[in-house]
């Protein structure tokens, strides 16, 4: 069986290797033929050693896959052989609030093997069926990006019809967020550094207004666009300097879903902005399998497809990582294990 491992020492440490098949599934587990894997910004951090440092021994890369169930272990009721499935990011977080035990089951980092292998064993309770209208490549994009966007906009953002939702960037989480904002009948303001991507976002994802996060005074632009009201929800993928400005751009009672660190892990915020506008900042760590089922269900009912930027073959995994790092993408970057 072929797989890719990472060691936390850069993309040179992303190695393709032969290994033994994983064997038979135990109680509550299933054996899955992996068909597609999607990349996340976290995969770059793990490869670079910016997430959990050096991986010694190296771990199997990546966290998001879709594939076909080959064999089920004893007591498995959720899925059967032949089912098309996608995985939750945590091997164990069925529902409710995270805890110290479950947090260690996040795959593809911190010493826990990921899913970029031809076969994996996964707990059946952490698998969700891929909707019929979606391909394996599309199904593989929900695990982190789709789930996180759902958590940011719906579970914790509580966006309602006619709300204004500010979304930063056009990466994996952000494009899912734009689709979900439209699904709930809210209005989106996209902040992007790219005019070309802004045009695509307006055309394909119903973005109402566009701003540029590199331009001074963008928080005031958000307040102006919303007629002085401010954003009801912010999907904050940047952290760093962006967080304080996102808080300033909020409506009274606004909710900032703090997702990412593209602009750094240290922020300076003006406490007065939080107090005066009664803003809530909520840290997001993806969500539980229950919430993953909810977002996949919503895409199934609405017959919407996740947006794929580019699909690479298994042999071109290193190029897929490099493409993600170049930030040319809009939406998701996927590795198709069936393509050579």
Ligand X SMILES: NC(=O)c1ccc[n+]([C@@H]2O[C@H](COP(=O)([O-])OP(=O)(O)OC[C@H]3O[C@@H](n4cnc5c(N)ncnc54)[C@H](OP(=O)(O)O)[C@@H]3O)[C@@H](O)[C@H]2O)c1
Question: Which residues of this protein are in contact with ligand X, per CB under 6 A?
Answer: 40-42, 144-145, 148, 168-174, 192-194, 197, 213, 237-238, 242, 259-263, 284-286, 324, 327
Q: Considering beta carbons, is residue 124 or 148 the nearer one to ligand X? A: 148
Q: How far is the CB of 182 from ligand X (least distance, A)?
A: 18
- If the CB atoms of residues 139 and 172 are measured against ligand X, the closer one turns out to be 172
Q: Which residues pair with 332 in a beta bridge?
A: 308
In the complex, the smallest distance separating the C-beta of residue 333 from ligand X, rounded to whole angstroms, is: 7
Name which of 87 and 174 has its Cβ closer to ligand X.
174
Query: CB-based burial of residue 111 (10 Å sphere; 0-12 exposed, 13-18 middle, 19+ buried)?
Result: exposed
User: Among residues 69 and 181, whose Cβ is nearest to ligand X?
Assistant: 181
Q: Which residue is nearest to ligand X (CB)?
A: 171
For helices 172-183 and 289-302, give the axis angle rounded to 10 degrees. Answer: 60
Integer Rg of the chain from CA: 20
Minimal distance in Å, beta carbon 139 to ligand X? 17
Q: Which is nearer to ligand X, 79 or 189 (CB)?
A: 189
User: To the nearest whole angstrom, how small is the minimum distance from the Cβ of residue 172 to ligand X?
Assistant: 4
CB of 242 to ligand X, least distance (A): 5
Bridge partners of 106, per DSSP, are: 90
Nearest-approach distance from CB 6 to ligand X, in angstroms: 16
Least distance from ligand X to the Cβ atom of residue 80, Å: 30
Report the residue number, 139 or 169, with the smaller CB distance to ligand X.
169
């Amino acid at each position: 069986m072929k797989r890719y491992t990472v060691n936390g020492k850069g993309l040179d440490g992303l190695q393709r290797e032969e290994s033994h098949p994983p064997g038979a599934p135990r109680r509550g587990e299933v054996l899955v033929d992996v068909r597609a894997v999607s990349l996340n910004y976290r995969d770059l951090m793990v490869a670079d050693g910016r997430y959990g440092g050096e991986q010694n021994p190296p771990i199997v890369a990546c966290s998001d896959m879709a594939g076909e169930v080959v064999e089920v272990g004893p007591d498995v009721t959720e899925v059967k052989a032949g089912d098309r499935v996608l995985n939750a990011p945590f091997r164990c977080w069925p529902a409710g609030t995270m805890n110290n035990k479950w947090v260690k089951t996040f795959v593809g980092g911190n010493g826990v093997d990921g899913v970029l292998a031809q076969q994996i064993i996964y707990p059946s309770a952490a698998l969700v069926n891929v909707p019929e209208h979606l391909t394996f490549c599309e199904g593989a994009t929900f695990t982190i990006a789709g789930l996180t966007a759902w958590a940011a906009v719906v579970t914790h953002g509580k966006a309602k019809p006619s709300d204004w939702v500010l979304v930063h960037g056009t990466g994996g989480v952000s494009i899912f967020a734009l689709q979900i904002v439209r699904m709930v009948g809210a209005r989106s303001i996209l902040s992007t550094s790219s005019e070309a991507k802004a045009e695509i976002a307006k055309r394909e994802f119903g973005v109402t207004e566009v701003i540029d996060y590199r331009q001074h005074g963008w928080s005031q632009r958000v307040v102006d666009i919303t007629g002085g009201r401010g954003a009801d929800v912010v999907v904050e993928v940047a952290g760093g300097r962006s967080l304080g400005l996102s808080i300033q751009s909020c409506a009274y009672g606004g909710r900032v879903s703090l997702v990412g660190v593209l602009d750094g892990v240290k922020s300076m915020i003006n406490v007065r902005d939080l107090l005066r506008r009664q803003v809530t900042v909520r840290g997001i760590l993806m969500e539980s399998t229950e919430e993953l089922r909810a977002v996949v269900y919503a895409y199934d009912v609405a017959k919407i497809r996740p947006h794929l930027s580019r699909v690479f073959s298994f042999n071109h995994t290193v190029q897929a990582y490099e493409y993600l790092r170049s930030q040319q993408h809009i939406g998701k970057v996927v590795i198709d294990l069936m393509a050579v």
